[in-house]
Amino acid sequence: MEILDDKFRVWLESAKFVKSKPGVYVFYDKNKEVIFIGESQNLQERFSKYVDTDFEYDACKQKTVSYQREFVENPKERMKQLLEDFKNEHGKIPVCMMLAENFT
- CATH number, domain of 74, equals 3.40.1440.10
Residue 44 contacts by C-beta under 8 Å, 6 or more apart in sequence? 18, 19, 20, 21
* Reported confidence tier of residue 100, pLDDT bands at 50, 70, 90: low
101, pLDDT greater than 60:
no
| Residue 98 forms part of a structural domain | no
| Residue 70 forms part of a structural domain | yes
| Residue 84 forms part of a structural domain | yes
| Residue 96 forms part of a structural domain | no
The whole-number average pLDDT for the span 82-93 is: 96
Sheet holding 34-40, edge to edge: 9-10, 66-71, 23-28, 34-40
| Residue 68 forms part of a structural domain | yes
Number of domains the chain is built from: 1
The whole-number average pLDDT for the span 21-41 is: 97
State the pTM of this model: 0.90
